[in-house]
Amino acid sequence: MSGGDFTSQIRKDVDFQIFWSEISIPSDATEIPRWLTHFHFDPVKLHRFDPDFEWRGKAYFSSGAFACRRGAIPFKEWMEVELWGKQAPGLFGDFYEQPMLNYNSDVFGMRPTDMFGHDEAEKRIHARLIRCLAS
């Protein structure tokens, strides 16, 4: 997006909205991209805490490119994940809340419900709308 007011694109009927439209890692990937461990997390280390987590086929996003309702990710669970990072140095990338936000958004069932077309990529932010299935 090249500036301007995008508040009209914020949906109030969803709990979590990611302003990004592309799947970052194909669901059939066999190697962990270096950028994933740098910007987000190390799936090998994460497996120790969450062996069922699937890191492939996700839209990883910048923590400055989302909107959500308060409490969409429960504070207690957020703090537990933050503790994992202290127990396993290097688990999360050094980008403040961004790595944990990406992990938690998936764990709490936030899935795409709608997406703008790729042909408008140069004109505006793409929105991937996510509905939180957690209460």
pLDDT of residue 21: 67
Choose among 73, 126, 127: nearest CA to 100.
Answer: 73
Q: What is the pLDDT along the chain (135 residues), one digit of tens a residue?
A: 445 677 787 888 877 887 776 778 999 999 999 999 999 999 999 999 999 999 998 888 888 777 787 888 889 989 999 999 999 999 999 888 989 988 988 887 665 433 333 333 222 223 323 333 333
How buried is 46 (Cβ within 10 angstroms: 0-12 exposed, 13-18 middle, 19+ buried)?
buried
Choose among 4, 9, 3: nearest CA to 129.
Answer: 9
- Global pTM reads 0.70
| CA–CA gap between residue 62 and residue 70 (Å, rounded) | 18
Question: 82 lies in a domain?
Answer: yes
Which structural domain range is residue 100 located in?
7-131
Question: 98 lies in a domain?
Answer: yes
Question: 18 lies in a domain?
Answer: yes
pLDDT of residue 3: 57
Question: 120 lies in a domain?
Answer: yes
Question: 1 lies in a domain?
Answer: no
* H or E, element range at 114: strand 111-115
Longest dimension (CA), the chain: 43
Question: 2 lies in a domain?
Answer: no
Domain count, the chain: 1
pLDDT of residue 118: 32
